[in-house]
Amino acid sequence: MNWFLLFEIIYILAIILVCLRIIYDTRSTTKTLAYLLLVIFVPLLGMIIYFTFGVNYRKRKIYSKKLIANEELSEQLRQNILKYSQENFLHARTMLEPSRELAFMLANDSMSPLTAGNSVKLLINGENKFPEVIRAIQQAKKFIHIEYYIYEDGEIGRTLENLLIQKVNEGVEVRFIYDDFVSRSIRRKQVPRLRKAGVQTFPFYKVNFLMFANRLNYRNHRKIIVVDGEIGFVGGINVSDRYINHPDNPGKLYWRDTHVMIEGPGVHYLQYLFLCDWNFCAEECLVPNDDFFPPIHTLPQKDNKMVQIAASGPDSDTPTVLFSMLQAIHLASEEILITTPYFIPGESILDALIVSALRGVSVKLLVPKNSDSFIVDAAARSYYEDLLDAGVEIYFYHKGFVHAKTMVTDRKTAIVGTANMDNRSFDLNFEVNAIIYDEAVANELRQIFYEDLQHAEKLSPETWRNRPVTVQMLEKTARLVSPLL
């Protein structure tokens, strides 16, 4: 028997089978072509990369996100949410008119209610966020729910640990979810300390050796804190000392990020997301009740900000975070201001920004001069020429590393959250953004954007086009794999 011929036949059959699986299983045409090219031209390594990063969990759902299994009750809840959202729209019709389609898209797509009666506070950088977090946790009376992508056992991580243990001793229930891969440094010491003290602690989608490949790719990028169902935090700032800029340590890299604190009914959907994630991680069955979701009429009316939450992940039927950003871009008529540390937009976002600029909307994009990934930088820069040609203004932030994920449209709508403007956030990670329909908040975030531009350099279209051919070739090559990043 010709063993070489047999091996060749098996090898070709394997490539064919993997290609068929890619065609059947991959949602994006661009991503399908990228994986096919990789598997065909770099067969063994390409197969490894595909099975590590490419399996479509939007079809093979990691977990059910439903807290309510009864379909009839679920439909009734959906109708109640739509009715509640409609009532809030009618009460604030003038303010919400420009964003009506966005608000109802989210209510229909993910049952995220349009909420009124919220207080909203923007928190710029870790030095402003963590004092508010500590203050809210200190005041907790019933429960504290914490979910983080990165949690490190540093100065702020230890401060929060001690405070959580103190609250447990006071009789407060504390539940803590951490990403098992990115926060793996806390597994050996900090997690056992928390559990021993009574903090209910679980990893999100635990990474085991046999399942390492698939589980490494689908991470929980959310940063959520909910206190007593009344106060919530969400945004880009993880629990790490790097996010705190000390004036007495000028040599440290300046870390520019944005978070938001919400008080009021807008916290309910953050709570819903946490409970879904908790039931999956802890294999429990916590159900909605008045403790977790205080009736809206019992919540203190501190302000009247309109808030809605956009969240999605590999478990979602649709990429809600992507759809909400697209809709916000399409609805803008005057100005779009975007800050993101990673910009690999895909064709839909790219086309939306180009069309907006061509129809006369002022589009400005703020990104780091250098991120923490060379290949991501190269892939991102391959998109810039198309944007610049359409009139989009691009700025490189040089004061430090800008990690904020924000958008402001028409001085009326502000988006602050965990999602980067890249394929990973749109399709692979579990993400969450807060959308605030309020002129005061939008103008405050707009002012912060323009303050950040004081520490940024504007790209010149002419200079950018005249980059060395070798650099352009490298960027265009990186762009070929951008759907996989």
Distance CA 121, CA 279 (A): 29
Name the amino acid, one letter, at 304.
N
Going by C-alpha positions, the residue among 25, 28, 33 that lies closest to residue 56 is 25
Distance CA 476, CA 471 (A): 9
Which residue in the list 65, 223, 305, 412 is annotated as catalytic? 223
Going by C-alpha positions, the residue among 36, 110, 113, 128 that lies closest to residue 430 is 110
H-run or E-run covering 226 = strand 224-227
Distance CA 179, CA 206 (A): 8
Which residue in the list 65, 145, 167, 221 is annotated as catalytic? 221
For this structure, is 377 an active site residue? Answer: no
Cα–Cα separations (whole angstroms), residue 103 to 50, 61, 117, 306, 310:
36, 26, 16, 10, 10
Question: Under a CB-based contact definition with an 8 Å cutoff, are residues 177 and 148 in contact?
Answer: yes
Which residue in the list 410, 427, 438, 452 is annotated as catalytic? 410
Distance CA 337, CA 355 (A): 15
For this structure, is 399 an active site residue? Answer: no
Name the amino acid, one letter, at 302.
K
For this structure, is 386 an active site residue? Answer: no
Which residue in the list 405, 412, 427, 452 is annotated as catalytic? 405
Q: Where are the beta strands (DSSP E) in 300-449?
A: 305-312, 335-339, 343-344, 362-368, 393-397, 401-402, 406-409, 413-417, 421-422, 431-437
For this structure, is 410 an active site residue? Answer: yes
Return the axis-axis angle of helices 374-381 and 469-480, rounded to nearest 10°.
100
Question: Under a CB-based contact definition with an 8 Å cutoff, are residues 265 and 296 in contact?
Answer: yes
Distance CA 96, CA 442 (A): 13
Which residue in the list 129, 403, 412, 452 is annotated as catalytic? 403
Which residue in the list 109, 153, 228, 315 is annotated as catalytic? 228
For this structure, is 405 an active site residue? Answer: yes
Distance CA 281, CA 205 (A): 7
Structure tokens at 230: 């009344």
For this structure, is 330 an active site residue? Answer: no
What is the set of active-site residues? 221, 223, 228, 403, 405, 410
